[in-house]
Amino acid sequence: MRINSKWMMPVLAALLAAPQAWAMTIFTCEPEYAALARELAPEANVSSATTALQDPHHVQARPSLIAKLRRADLAICAGADLEVGWLPMLQMKANNRKVRDGQPGMLYAAQHLEALGRLERVDRSMGDVHAGGNPHFHFSPSRIQTMAEVIAAKLVELDPDNEPQYRANLTEFSQRWSQATTRWRTQAAPLKGKRVIAYHTSFQYLFDWLGMEQAGDLEPKPGLPPTTGHLAQLLKLTETTPIMAVIYTGYQDGRGAQWLGQRAGLPVVQLPFGPGVEGAADLFQLYDTNIALLLAAMEESDV
């Protein structure tokens, strides 16, 4: 069948002139921001430098990451010095002006969120701490909602032709997130006031939101592995303080947690730290799974 070129030219012109939805290439430092970006721009090319099984403090500037950042229109990272050990090198090697600090394509969550644990003074004796506060914002539902709004606004700024799609996706996500947050709050109500021993301050925002208390840290100082003497002190703590469970996550060495749990007779729980792992495909499943695991630990410990 012959195609009349007289009719084809206007059609092709219209297609070329039409806005190309979600044409963005988005690079994120952590999987939680990749998951959030996919909610708001589901057809964008989204990648993450890390997975939930990697320590986001320590990342190698691999050629594959350099190539991804070089192509990015937008980069989203936690900030608060979480990536200070590797992101500047990645930015330098990628040589992408769009995602340099201070440019419209570089977005740090810490610049838009109130951080827990801010410090007036930091020195080496304190270990691996962040003066700007805890950068693991993704376990705070309200901060996730704020970041959804911030990212949507940034997408509109960088890709104004597709503003209606980004706005609609934000509205749809916000409704689902609000409904889920209400459900989680009801489900997790029995956890309020429970005490745990955990590794680092990885779940500080989750414990703060649920009204839980981290009574002890498996690290003697932030960034240092558990020592025998420190674990012995924590074991004494469990004899005088009701502890519900010992908590750690996938990229942390679980041997100290297991040692303490066995000797104290406490449940040892490995919580997923981010989306993209088994049982936590997205942000919604991440919260579902963590709350379910904490409730199961509470039942097991009977504290």
Q: Determine the pLDDT at residue 284.
A: 98
Residue 27's CB is within 10 A of a number of other CB atoms, namely 29
CB 184, CB 141: distance < 8 Å? yes
Q: Determine the pLDDT at residue 14.
A: 44
Q: Determine the pLDDT at residue 117.
A: 87
Ranges of the chain whose pLDDT falls below 70: 1-22, 119-131
Q: List Cα–Cα distances, 22 to 27, 71, 201, 290, in angstroms.
A: 14, 15, 36, 31
Q: Determine the pLDDT at residue 303.
A: 81
CB 243, CB 215: distance < 8 Å? yes
Q: Determine the pLDDT at residue 15.
A: 42
Q: Determine the pLDDT at residue 121.
A: 62
Q: Determine the pLDDT at residue 286.
A: 98
CB 129, CB 57: distance < 8 Å? no
Q: Determine the pLDDT at residue 123.
A: 54
CB 260, CB 235: distance < 8 Å? yes
Per DSSP, what are the bridge partners of residue 106? 75
Whole-structure pTM value: 0.89
